[in-house]
Amino acid sequence: MVRAAVLIACSLMTTMALAETRSDTFRQALDAARNDDWDTLSRMEAELEDNHPLESYLEFHRIRAGLPELSAEKVIAYAEKYNDSPLPDDIRDIAITAYGKAKRWDALLAVSNQVPGPVTLQCYYYQARLASGDDSALQEAARLWNYGSSRPDACDPLFSAARNAGVIDEKAIWERQRLAFEAGNYSLMRYLNRSLEGSEYETAGNWLKKLYRSPDELENLPKGLSKEQKAALREDGFYRWIYTDTVTARKWYEKHAKRIKNEEARQTLARRLAWYSTIRGIEENREWLDNWLEDHSDVELLSQRTRRAIIEQNWDAVAHWIAKLPEQEQADSRWQYWQARALEATGQEDTARELLQKAAQGRNFFAFLAADRLGEPYRFSDAPYAASTPFEPPAAVNRVQLLQELEEDTAAHREWLWLLWNSDREQQQALADYALKQQWYSLAVEASIQSKSWDTLAWRFPPAYRAQFEKEALENNLDPWLAMAVSRRESAFNPRARSGVGASGLMQLMPATARNVARDVGQDRPTQAMLFDQNVNIGLGTRYLAELLEQFNGNRLLALAAYNAGPHRVDNWLEAEDDKAVPADVWVESIPFRETRDYVQAVLTYRVLFIGLHDDQPRTAQLISDKENESRYSLSMLE
């Protein structure tokens, strides 16, 4: 028995050593392919088994390096051979760019099985169509050109052809200048204005620039303009004026609205005026705004107007504006909760309780608030998964595993997404279950989203990296479930996640924040690569969260808002005077940034779900603590 156990152990160790050797060999081969080191690649490939699961990645770089000289037939053959992965789409995009730069138009059209998505590739594609004699490409050029921001340099030849053909004329330039005005792109406006010199739109273009700086000048438009130009400038000037001085713009509109002859434009501008009057809480515009809202069933604006009434704790107005919402909206837990709060404030406790009972049926922040107000447990509506047939992992799953072992997480995630997009719902759910069993937490979450399995909470809220969160939370005197909820919201438990602004890892730490935290605790300066290490990221992230909690006297609502938007903003969101302080629920609703408002609600909700699913704590009174709920939110909280 002992000898058999030793033999088995030796066999396992040998197998693991071989697997590690093969992984290292492939890593060297992939690095060589990326660096166009073909001699090294050939040596490494000789050591790999035939038909290696990731051979497509090595061949990808051979094709990539051969462009644009490589024939379109070889690109197409590669795409057909590996058509069960995202790589064919990638190589086609690369080929379109390479052929486009080399002006190999026939080859470009041969590899383009449809109109590409990115604008740069579309511009190459339509240049190829034009070169083949298809003049309809000029109309597509005009469509791509008519945009309020700059376009890629690759589009310039296509746009020049359209200009020379008269498809893009002075009127089109003027119309694009107006789009740039609307987008707030003053530099593009100036650039386009130079092309209007000497044309019938020169004066209009000059005045458009002037109105951008001084929209109140719309009253002083010169006589030489055409009727259409004057109408357009008046609309554009007022559009800008609403943003720069909403009160004065409203006064002008009340007197001169009929001067905007185009009915559709007038309604669009009135809505914009109502929007800024609402979100800025401009009391001087309140009478006009409320009269406008009475006549317009605009769900988004009615929601914002209700928010404003909540922030002001004008409970009669809260009830009034919620009643203006469509019935489907009123049935949402959020509005049921606030309607109940309004009823409580006006002494209608029994009716309020009925609404809270309805609101508490959901599984979201306001449903949990309602349950806490009633003193009742939360309703999770968890649906366990039961497979209808045995699951046989497709080849892509093996590639995902190997890529993860190589720490090629971006490639692994793209393979996973491609597989999900090309699977039916039954297979998507099977993949979610498989990913969870493999502890591929972020992939399980992704599969739950793609399959719309909203009630299978095991996939959506797995206890990812629980031991590490508990260890770091203990060291920092922090609730581990709160840190896990932050990670779930920030990255969906993807250790290699990186945002557009550079926030990295599980808890999406900015490099500067990570350096500051590490310095404060005497740790080495973390590199970018270190932030993708789950242990490093969780350690620094939990420490930073603990620091914010200390800064905000243990208040999680304030600390979470600071984690998302920055501590300095939270100070600005607290009333300076105690007599203007608001309750916890009102303060959350008053957060000006929708992203941060949703963030605070989501993290607190996720924490409740994690506790309910993975802890033995009661499913009640977990959302907001008594201290947080009893506090009145003003700057005095920080003293």
Residues annotated as catalytic (active site), given as ranges: 490
Backbone torsions φ then ψ of 308, nearest 5 degrees: -60, -40
> What are the helix (H) ranges across 67-201?
72-81, 87-102, 105-111, 119-131, 137-145, 156-164, 170-183, 186-194
Structure tokens of 624?
């907001």
Angle between helices 441-450 and 409-421 (to 10 degrees): 30
Q: CA 498, 500, 502 angle in degrees (round to 5)? A: 55
Q: How many helices (H) and strands (E) does the chain have?
A: 37, 0
Is the distance from CB of 318 to CB of 288 less than 8 angstroms?
no
Number of neighbouring beta carbons within 10 Å of residue 13: 10
Q: What is the DSSP letter of 582?
A: B
Which residue, 50, 45, 14, is CA-closest to 27? 45
Is the distance from CB of 411 to CB of 430 less than 8 angstroms?
no
Q: What is the DSSP letter of 634?
A: B
Beta bridge mates, 498: 504
Q: Hey, what amino acid is at 85?
A: S
Is the distance from CB of 150 to CB of 188 less than 8 angstroms?
yes
Compute the distance between CA of residue 395 and CA of residue 475 in angstroms, rounded to an integer: 42
Angle between helices 409-421 and 395-405 (to 10 degrees): 160
Which residue, 354, 296, 348, is CA-closest to 325? 296
For tokens 């939370």, name the residue.
473
Would you call 187 helix, strand, or coil by DSSP? Answer: helix
Compute the distance between CA of residue 582 and CA of residue 599 in angstroms, rounded to an integer: 20
Number of neighbouring beta carbons within 10 Å of residue 57: 23
